[in-house]
Amino acid sequence: MTNTQVTLVQLDNYGPWTVTPEPRREVDLQTLQSRLYADLSQLVGNRDGYVFFTRFDNMVAVTNGLDMEDHARLQESVRNRYPVTVSLGIGHGETPAGALVEATDRLQSAGSAQDAERREVLAGHPLDEDERTDDDVQIAHFDVNDATGEYTDELDAYSAFVHVEQAYASLMRHMHDTHDSLSFFVGGDNIIAVCPSLDRDAYAEAIDYVREDTGVDLKVGVGRGPAAHDAGMAAKHALEVCREEGLDIAGDAV
Amino acid sequence: MTNTQVTLVQLDNYGPWTVTPEPRREVDLQTLQSRLYADLSQLVGNRDGYVFFTRFDNMVAVTNGLDMEDHARLQESVRNRYPVTVSLGIGHGETPAGALVEATDRLQSAGSAQDAERREVLAGHPLDEDERTDDDVQIAHFDVNDATGEYTDELDAYSAFVHVEQAYASLMRHMHDTHDSLSFFVGGDNIIAVCPSLDRDAYAEAIDYVREDTGVDLKVGVGRGPAAHDAGMAAKHALEVCREEGLDIAGDAV
Amino acid sequence: MTNTQVTLVQLDNYGPWTVTPEPRREVDLQTLQSRLYADLSQLVGNRDGYVFFTRFDNMVAVTNGLDMEDHARLQESVRNRYPVTVSLGIGHGETPAGALVEATDRLQSAGSAQDAERREVLAGHPLDEDERTDDDVQIAHFDVNDATGEYTDELDAYSAFVHVEQAYASLMRHMHDTHDSLSFFVGGDNIIAVCPSLDRDAYAEAIDYVREDTGVDLKVGVGRGPAAHDAGMAAKHALEVCREEGLDIAGDAV
Amino acid sequence: MTNTQVTLVQLDNYGPWTVTPEPRREVDLQTLQSRLYADLSQLVGNRDGYVFFTRFDNMVAVTNGLDMEDHARLQESVRNRYPVTVSLGIGHGETPAGALVEATDRLQSAGSAQDAERREVLAGHPLDEDERTDDDVQIAHFDVNDATGEYTDELDAYSAFVHVEQAYASLMRHMHDTHDSLSFFVGGDNIIAVCPSLDRDAYAEAIDYVREDTGVDLKVGVGRGPAAHDAGMAAKHALEVCREEGLDIAGDAV
């Protein structure tokens, strides 16, 4: 059984800020958003967590191993270096989707994302150290079979992108609705899904679903560990096994 | 009639690099990708262009106003500061989709994205200064009606994200297949589409399509200009008009 | 005769900000300062100018080729992405030192560096395009003879640093007081000086001065050009000539 | 008695890289160096250490609390995101100067800073957890009395800088030669010194020395703690006491 700790990172009152007093230059917003994401990746990653950019103004992080002080420091670091602040909601539970529901509840109880008075909320409770186990996190790393040969080198760049994006939209919805998992596009043809304890059949079924829905063939490596980094690195190695041995699914965890 | 100049930015042999000699730490890859994107945004944005992160290893830029020397400097700046290099293909034409086909052709002719020998290709030709006009670029800035009230403050963060993502996947495919446009999610509930000379009916039809396909209500501001920044800023102002006046579509250009 | 355009970049009311409401974490201040400097380097460098970090809260830039709009955009980009703002004073003249006196005057007339009401001043006037010539900027690139063999590989890291720093403190004061030049440590054992039209004798005399004052042997490459980048790159090539041919001074300009 | 752990961060074969195959654009080098420094600040700072930019190609860090694995991860993170690599030498001892001698020895034994074969050395040994105490690190935070009123608002920007720089060059040499301390300019008019157990008299004597040598008046706050952050934050608070009460020296530690 997994016990995923999830943190919702929400920029405070960001939408209004982007158009006040008038719309801000798009390239500056893109730079701000992607650098803030990069910084959070390093801050959380330094403690073996993962952050996903999601919608940029709402980012989802897997934070097993980060305590309240780590979260507070992250808020402080953003406040000290950016023109925006972040609120954090923390949840945990047997499924990543459930943990994020809890994390979201914590923030929503404190006020609207566009409430000018709601700033730097830090709500929810991380896992106690003694609740943690060595297999709290399960991560599945999907990619597209022969993406370079089938798409990147064959189609124009946008048509290739459309295929990847349709596959992602299909997989993310399916894994959420059917398997209580949170899936994130991480660049190239890669999708990382944070999952509960799913078995091989669940992954096979998801790959079939996406193939039928979009025509795109995926494969997946699955890993397990006490935190996102460990589980994610095991998943990457499992995906390498898929590549080398021509498998659709690999990983010790399944 | 528009005349969009599009540059395809492709990281050279990036996929293999990410797993050689063994898979690299995901947070470092995320940091590398998002910072490289931020830097390109600044470099291109400094000359009034736009870059979209797309798949991160393949980024699409609107580069009206950037000449060969500007492109070469961009390659030099990446080479001097990153462990990876980029190839650039340049195209232009009456539709953004057509321009990207041309840009992609230029790179594909030079070799595979995963050809270890193909590095720092700079192919294609920018528009001559005397070919440029004041309305070469049309940009449409979409967002979701009352995204905060309907989704962010109501649903859990991932369910809200699923809705935004489904709307994006629907719009991007439709605008590409039907209107030769390139649409990019830029964070929050915002999608920026680079379009040929589309009229009000085309945008109304696209909004209807997405509503029927996904249940998500969009609105759009449209702008026109000699380069991405001018067109994009006009589109942002038009979107503000939509917000203030409760319109679905606004903009001088349509 | 040179005609250097110099911009003083001053963070608005920065000192008080760093300790309000209580002292901010030093690593965040260091990160903020060095990233802001890096961003300004890219923004200005993209138009062939140079920025020197100087005191970080007061940075000096050589901005031949940048007009008022470029300066305003730079302020906008900082405002959009940082928790601090910058004021800019522009000056030009036959000597870099004189140009900076003018640039400083412009800012000081507008208020104190720690005046909470003085924000985002943009004062002074850039060179008109038709005042510019191909040799407006002279740059001298100094380094320490055999710094690695004599210091880095021989002494402990701090003792090596003390030698480089003493040489720098001596050279920067001497070049300013005697030659109206602005010299900046740029890392390693490198010092870049922005100079008026100095001849070989002036450089020989400066090298002698530093040797007698501190015991450190310098060499120098000198370049000339319409903007900082051109002059600086010529100076770098001249310094390579020094290395290859065992010279103390090289460069077409002298 | 202090027990400072010091890490020397040395870029591998950096000098030759900056001019191969020909001199690289200065703004890119400045951007690379300052961003690498910012990243190391965050990585080390996240574990309560400090990094000083020093010569940028040789940086000095106070790393009490960081073990070998933390150091190795830092090397990995640089390798994954930069075109350069770093070697690390670790030392510790009763004085910071002595600790850095040891750290430097470790690296020098492994090869020259410009040896193309010497890459990513990780040498020396961090303090064991059970060797650490609550007052292993003493930090003194100096600044210039009324720097804004006396210099920044009065003199031109370079003349003000010359004064700060002369004071720094004087203090850094004196504190090293007389008090086995490592002093670093950190921006504005601030100098942070990493010291052994110095008492009030030592600081009073140093302030006198710099006043006589350069005419610049300094004050200092002193702090003590188990790691650089704790000691440095205590020093900042002590410096605030100096400001509020008009003192030259403050701090619990002295």
Q: Does residue D145 sit at the C interface (CB-CB below 8 Å)?
A: no
Contact A42 D73 (CB under 8 A): no
pLDDT in tens, C80-112: 999 999 999 999 999 999 999 999 999 999 999
Whole-angstrom Cα distance, residue A23 to residue A18?
6
pLDDT score, position D253: 60
What percentage of chain B carries pLDDT values higher than 70?
Answer: 99
Nearest-neighbour CA in chain B from D211: distance (Å): 42
Q: What is the mean pLDDT of chain A?
A: 96
pLDDT in tens, B89-137: 999 999 999 999 999 999 999 999 898 899 999 999 999 999 999 999 9
Q: Nearest Cβ partner of C169 from D46, D60, D165?
A: D165
Q: Which of C31, C35, C39, C42 to mutate to test the interface with B (most CBs of B within 10 A)?
A: C42
Residue C253 has pLDDT above 70, yes or no: no
User: Per-residue pLDDT averaged across B47-70, rounded?
Assistant: 98
Q: Nearest Cβ partner of C19 from D26, D112, D240?
A: D240
Of all residues in chain C, the one with the smallest CA distance to B73 is: C46
Whole-angstrom Cα distance, residue B78 to residue A99?
39
Q: Does residue C16 sit at the D interface (CB-CB below 8 Å)?
A: no
What's the token pair of residue D86? 């770093």
Q: How confident is the model at residue C252 (pLDDT cuts 50, 70, 90)?
A: confident
Contact B24 D80 (CB under 8 A): yes
Whole-angstrom Cα distance, residue D254 to residue D251?
6
Supply the ipTM of this predicted assembly: 0.97
HEC letters along D31-91: HHHHHHHHHHHHHHHCCCCEEECCCCCEEEEECCCCCHHHHHHHHHHHHHHCCCCEEEEEE
**Under 8 Å between Cβ of C23 and D240:** yes
Of all residues in chain D, the one with the smallest CA distance to C25 is: D233
HEC letters along B176-240: HHHHCCEEEEEECCEEEEEECCCCHHHHHHHHHHHHHHHCCCEEEEEEEECCHHHHHHHHHHHHH
pLDDT score, position B254: 57
Q: Which of D80, D84, D119, D120 to mutate to test the interface with B (most CBs of B within 10 A)?
A: D80
Angle between helix A26-45 and helix B26-45 axes, rounded to 10 deg: 160
What DSSP string runs through chain C? Answer: ---EEEEEEEETTHHHHHTSSSPPPHHHHHHHHHHHHHHHHHHHHTTT-EEE-TTSSEEEEE-TT--HHHHHHHHHHHHHHSSS-EEEEEEEESSHHHHHHHHHHHHHHH--TT-TT--S-EES-PPPGGG--TT-EEEEEEEETTHIIIIITTS-HHHHHHHHHHHHHHHHHHHHHHH--EEEEEETTEEEEEESS--HHHHHHHHHHHHHHHS--EEEEEEEESSHHHHHHHHHHHHHHHHHHT-SEE-TT-
Q: Nearest Cβ partner of D112 from C33, C153, C169?
A: C153
Residues of chain A with Cβ-Cβ distance to D42 below 8 Å are 39, 42-43, 77
For chain D, state the CA radius of gyration: 19
Q: Does residue D42 sit at the A interface (CB-CB below 8 Å)?
A: yes
What CA–CA distances, in Å, run from D185 to C145, C165, D52, D55, D228? 24, 11, 8, 11, 16
What percentage of chain B carries pLDDT values higher than 90?
Answer: 97
For residue B66, which phi and psi values (nearest 5 degrees)?
Answer: -100, 130
Sign of CA dihedral B51, B56, B60, B66: positive
pLDDT score, position D55: 97
Write the burial class of residue A148 (CB in 10 Å: 0-12 exposed, 13-18 middle, 19+ buried): buried
Nearest-neighbour CA in chain D from C129: distance (Å): 23
**Under 8 Å between Cβ of C33 and C56:** yes
Contact A81 C35 (CB under 8 A): yes
Q: Does residue C248 sit at the B interface (CB-CB below 8 Å)?
A: no
Return the number of CB contacts < 8 Å for B and D. 38
Of all residues in chain D, the one with the smallest CA distance to C62 is: D27
Q: How many CA atoms lie within 13 A of C233 on its CB side?
A: 14
DSSP-H helix ranges across B122-182: 147, 157-179
Residues of chain D with Cβ-Cβ distance to A43 below 8 Å are 42, 46
Nearest-neighbour CA in chain A from D175: distance (Å): 31
For residue B65, which phi and psi values (nearest 5 degrees)?
Answer: 105, -15
Whole-angstrom Cα distance, residue A15 to residue A112?
12
Residues of chain D with CATH 3.30.70.270: 137-250
What's the token pair of residue D250? 């403050």
Q: Does residue C34 sit at the D interface (CB-CB below 8 Å)?
A: yes
A5 three-state secondary structure: strand
Tell which CATH classification among 3.40.50.2300, 3.30.70.270, 3.40.50.300, 1.20.1250.20 matches the domain B137-250: 3.30.70.270
pLDDT in tens, C223-237: 999 999 999 999 999
Nearest-neighbour CA in chain C from B74: distance (Å): 9
Of all residues in chain B, the one with the smallest CA distance to C43 is: B46
User: Per-residue pLDDT averaged across A34-59, rounded?
Assistant: 97
Residues of chain B with Cβ-Cβ distance to A25 below 8 Å are 45, 229, 233
Contact C80 A35 (CB under 8 A): no
CA dihedral A158, A161, A163, A165 (to 10 degrees): -130
All residues at 6 or more sequence positions from C69 whose CB lies less than 8 Å from its CB, including other chains:
none
Nearest-neighbour CA in chain D from B151: distance (Å): 35
Residues of chain C with Cβ-Cβ distance to A29 below 8 Å are 80
What residues of chain C, 49 to 108, have a C-beta less than 8 Å from chain A?
A: 76-77, 79-83
Q: Which of B14, B20, B74, B81 to mutate to test the interface with D (most CBs of D within 10 A)?
A: B81
Nearest-neighbour CA in chain D from B161: distance (Å): 29
**Under 8 Å between Cβ of C66 and C47:** yes
pLDDT in tens, B152-201: 999 999 999 999 999 999 999 999 999 999 999 999 999 999 999 999 99
Residues of chain D with Cβ-Cβ distance to B25 below 8 Å are 76-77, 80
Q: Pick the range with the lowest mean pLDDT from A147-156, A215-224, D9-18, D189-198.
A: A147-156
Of B144, B176, B173, B139, whose CA–CA distance to B160 is shortest? Answer: B144
Q: How many CA atoms lie within 13 A of D84 on its CB side?
A: 26
Nearest-neighbour CA in chain B from C190: distance (Å): 18
Q: How confident is the model at residue D244 (pLDDT cuts 50, 70, 90)?
A: very high
Nearest-neighbour CA in chain A from D66: distance (Å): 12
User: Per-residue pLDDT averaged across D80-108, rounded?
Assistant: 97
Angle between helix C157-179 and helix D96-110 axes, rounded to 10 deg: 100
Residue D254 has pLDDT above 60, yes or no: no
Residues of chain B with CATH 3.30.70.1230: 4-131
Q: How many CB atoms lie within 10 A of CB D135?
A: 16
Q: Which of A8, A30, A175 to mutate to test the interface with B (most CBs of B within 10 A)?
A: A30
Q: Does residue B133 sit at the C interface (CB-CB below 8 Å)?
A: no
Which chains would you list as touching B if contact means 3+ CB atom pairs under 8 Å? A, C, D
Residue with tokens 């980009």: C77
Q: Does residue D23 sit at the C interface (CB-CB below 8 Å)?
A: yes
Q: For residue B82, give the amino acid letter.
A: Y
Q: How confident is the model at residue C254 (pLDDT cuts 50, 70, 90)?
A: low
What residues of chain D, 160 to 219, have a C-beta less than 8 Å from chain C?
A: 160-162, 164-166, 168-169, 172-173, 176, 182, 186-189, 192
A192 three-state secondary structure: strand
Contact B189 A55 (CB under 8 A): yes
Which chains would you list as touching C if contact means 3+ CB atom pairs under 8 Å? A, B, D
Q: Which of B31, B46, B78 to mutate to test the interface with C (most CBs of C within 10 A)?
A: B46
CATH 3.20.190.10 assigned to domain A4-131? The reply is no
Q: In whole angstroms, what separates CA A249 from the centre of its chain?
A: 21
All residues at 6 or more sequence positions from D45 whose CB lies less than 8 Å from its CB, including other chains:
C25, C26, C27, C28, C30, C31, D51, D229
pLDDT in tens, A152-167: 999 999 999 999 999 9
Of all residues in chain D, the one with the smallest CA distance to B19 is: D80
Higher pLDDT residue, C178 or A148? C178
Residues of chain D with Cβ-Cβ distance to B31 below 8 Å are 81
Residue D252 has pLDDT above 90, yes or no: no
Contact D80 B35 (CB under 8 A): no
Q: How many CA atoms lie within 13 A of A165 on its CB side?
A: 25
Q: What is the mean pLDDT of chain B?
A: 96
Residue with tokens 């499992």: A238
- Tell me how long chain A is: 254
**Under 8 Å between Cβ of C108 and C5:** no
Helix (H) or strand (E) holding D252: none
Of all residues in chain A, the one with the smallest CA distance to B109 is: A153
What CA–CA distances, in Å, run from C175 to B155, C222, C248, C254? 65, 14, 17, 16
Helix (H) or strand (E) holding B61: strand B58-62
Return the number of CB contacts < 8 Å for A and B. 216
Contact B81 D32 (CB under 8 A): yes
**Under 8 Å between Cβ of D163 and D216:** yes
Residue A252 has pLDDT above 80, yes or no: no
Contact D81 B24 (CB under 8 A): no
pLDDT score, position A253: 60
Nearest-neighbour CA in chain B from C179: distance (Å): 33
